[in-house]
Structure 1
């Protein structure tokens, strides 16, 4: 999987992915810290993790639905002449 531009960031991703896979293999829920990290990943990485069944597809798609809602809300406000 393509990771990040820097070697340091890519290695950090690898370490976190190893932890994530370990929890998955053991059937254990992941820690809140690891959950926050997963939720912060770019969509391209989340898509791969879901494809490989490391995370469920709902988690991979969750942020996209929220972004669509926020974008629609923003368009509605702008259409009404509101800004900010």
Structure 2
């Protein structure tokens, strides 16, 4: 397991994905854009693409989960503020 790869992807998601991404039209295409962006950022950080894909063979699905999670968190926050 590449802890460095996992940590990189999770940190990248936290810094780059928000609930607004869920609300935009064409969100499905954004998952691939996020995937390519994350892999490019990993390469720039000295982490080979293979190291990331070893831990996240379907990185696009992980990005989709992150966008959905951000949207769910925002919805919970709004509900809590309405109470």
TM-score, length-scaled by structure 2? 0.35
Structure holding more helix per residue: 2
Give the number of the structure whose alpha-carbon radius of gyration is greater: 1
Structure with the larger RCO, 1 or 2 (CA within 8 Å, 6+ apart): 2
